[in-house]
């Protein structure tokens, strides 16, 4: 089975530009989360989507937005890029947890390395 | 808000020996989960081990085990019989019942030396 896939692998942008990152979850997974991992730090939660609805947002400015499509794939958009947006952007998916069912872990993709010059 | 602290930025261990990575966390919640993730140089983050806070028994997965001290809010990872393939960044993470909103520490870079 294919794991979580992300595109592109690497991306170079200049300050002020806009970027769109894409994520395809594992088949059957309806929840997608986005994390930002700055070099030398742990991932920071940006967004979570479930069934096309936003279920959580981390402490990030409004320049960051996301959406989830009917096929459960997701896009992360970042406007007006800043140098500090340079990071590895990770996408993770998890299956729906049934009431009273076992805990479901999240599965990470390989990430998109964004460099802002 | 939850916080996760890993106080060891870098550690090294000889092959076949045992190493322990430390993690402390802060939360006011009673029902939560703790994780150790491994991120090798290829970047793919994978789950190593998980601990449910309501379980007193420490989790074990083959060579990996944890020491979960709920009152002290401590969650350390012990790697036994270290292998070269264990070389990676290790992240401690916390979540409530929604794993999709996890809080991570800043990681410990572990190097296993031959």
Q: From residue A68, how far is each of A1, A33, A86, B101 by CA, in Å? A: 21, 10, 23, 16
Q: Are A48 and A33 in contact (CB under 8 A)?
A: yes
At A62, the pLDDT band (50, 70, 90 cuts) reads very high
What's the pLDDT tens digit per position in B80-95? 999 999 999 999 999 9
3-state helix, strand, coil in chain A (%, to 5): 5, 50, 50
User: Between B101 and A97, whose confidence is greater?
Assistant: B101
User: Between A14 and A96, whose confidence is greater?
Assistant: A14
pLDDT at A1 over 70: no
Superfamily, domain B3-113: Immunoglobulins (2.60.40.10)
Cβ–Cβ below 8 Å for A43 and B45: yes
Percent share of chain B, pLDDT over 70: 99
Q: Parse chain B into domains and list their residue ranges.
A: 3-113
A104 vs A61: CA distance, rounded Å: 29
List the beta bridge partners of residue B112.
Answer: B13
A11 vs B81: CA distance, rounded Å: 39
Q: Report the pLDDT value the prediction gives residue A59, as an integer from 0 to 100.
A: 94
Q: Are A82 and A16 in contact (CB under 8 A)?
A: no
Cβ–Cβ below 8 Å for B101 and A56: yes
Q: Parse chain A into domains and list their residue ranges.
A: 5-99+107-112
Q: Of A45-54, A103-112, B8-17, B80-89, where does mean pLDDT reach its minimum?
A: A103-112
Of A33, A42, A104, the CB nearest to B91: A42
Indicate the DSSP class of residue B84.
G
**Residues whose CB is less than 8 angstroms from the CB of residue B57 and which lie 6 or more positions away in sequence, other chains included:** none
Task: Write down the mean pLDDT value for chain A.
Answer: 93
The CATH number of A5-99+107-112, from 3.30.470.20, 3.40.50.300, 2.60.40.10, 1.10.150.110, is: 2.60.40.10
3-class DSSP state of B114: coil
Tokens 């390395």, located at residue: A113
A-B Cβ pairs (cutoff 8 Å, strict) = 65
3-class DSSP state of A84: helix
């Amino acid at each position: 089975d294919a794991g979580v896939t992300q595109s592109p692998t690497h991306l170079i942008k200049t300050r002020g530009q806009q970027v769109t990152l894409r994520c395809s979850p594992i088949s059957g997974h309806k929840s997608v989360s986005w994390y930002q991992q700055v070099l030398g730090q742990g991932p920071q939660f940006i967004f979570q989507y479930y069934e096309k609805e936003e279920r959580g947002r981390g402490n990030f400015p409004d320049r960051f937005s996301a959406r989830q499509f009917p096929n459960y794939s997701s896009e992360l958009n970042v406007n007006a890029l800043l140098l500090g947006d340079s990071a590895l952007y990770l996408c993770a998916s998890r299956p729906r947890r049934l009431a009273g069912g076992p805990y479901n872990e999240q599965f990470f993709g390989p990430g998109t390395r964004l460099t802002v010059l | 808000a939850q916080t996760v602290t890993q106080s060891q930025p870098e550690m090294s261990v000889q092959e076949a020996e045992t190493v322990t990575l430390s993690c402390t966390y802060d939360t006011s919640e009673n029902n939560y989960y703790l994780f150790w993730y491994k991120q090798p140089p290829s970047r793919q983050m994978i789950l190593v081990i998980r601990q449910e806070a309501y379980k007193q028994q420490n989790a074990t997965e083959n060579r990996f085990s944890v020491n979960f001290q709920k009152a002290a809010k401590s969650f350390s990872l012990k790697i036994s019989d270290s292998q070269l393939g264990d070389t990676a960044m290790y992240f401690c993470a916390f979540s409530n019942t929604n794993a999709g909103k996890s809080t991570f520490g800043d990681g410990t870079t572990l190097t296993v030396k031959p």
